[in-house]
Structure 1
Amino acid sequence: MPQHAQNTPVCPDCDGFASAAIATGARHRDGSRVTLRITCPACKGTGAARPARVREVARV
């Protein structure tokens, strides 16, 4: 099955999965699990990459 082209640049560090919930193994008193929500430090949780800086090169 063909893949569709993506129009938005994706963060290379998290591949677009900007946040994750990680279970610590502990449980609350009501029985639910204790989780930590972690966001990508590179894209600040947006999942999108910043545009690369453009260097101007002087041609002689």
Structure 2
Amino acid sequence: MPQHTLPARICRDCDGFAAVAITTGARHRDGTRVTLRVTCPACKGSGTASAARLVRVGR
């Protein structure tokens, strides 16, 4: 029998692409481009969103 798994919660800020490489336009001495690796601040590079938490307010 197939296993039933919950659908993955994809981060709505990065759509699952949690880490990207951005070129700065500069080049190293060997000709390769200088890149910066940036991770999504919302999901902290995991690509998935945490489950929403319910909070009771009031009495």
Unaligned 5+ residue runs, structure 1? 1-5
The TM-score, its normalising length taken from structure 1, stands at 0.79
> What percent identity do the matched residue pairs reach?
65
Match status 1:12 vs 2:6: no
For structure 2, the 5+ residue unaligned runs are: 1-5
Task: Provide the rounded CA distance (Å) in 1 between the counterparts of 2:54 and 2:23.
Answer: 41
Q: Please provide the CA RMSD for this pair.
A: 1.7
Q: Distance in 1 between matches of 2:11 and 2:21?
A: 18
Structure 2 distance, partners of 1:56, 1:23, is 46
Alignment partner, residue 41 of structure 1: 41
Q: CA deviation at 1:54?
A: 1.9
Q: List 4+ stretches of structure 1 deviating above 3 A.
A: none
Q: Matched residues in 2 for 1:26 and 1:56: separation?
A: 52
Q: Normalising by structure 2, what TM-score?
A: 0.80
Aligned counterparts of 1:55 and 1:25: Cα–Cα separation in 2: 47
Which digits, 9 at most, give the CA deviation of each residue in 1:2-60, with x for residues without a partner? Answer: xxxx8200001111000100000000000000000000001000000010012458xxx
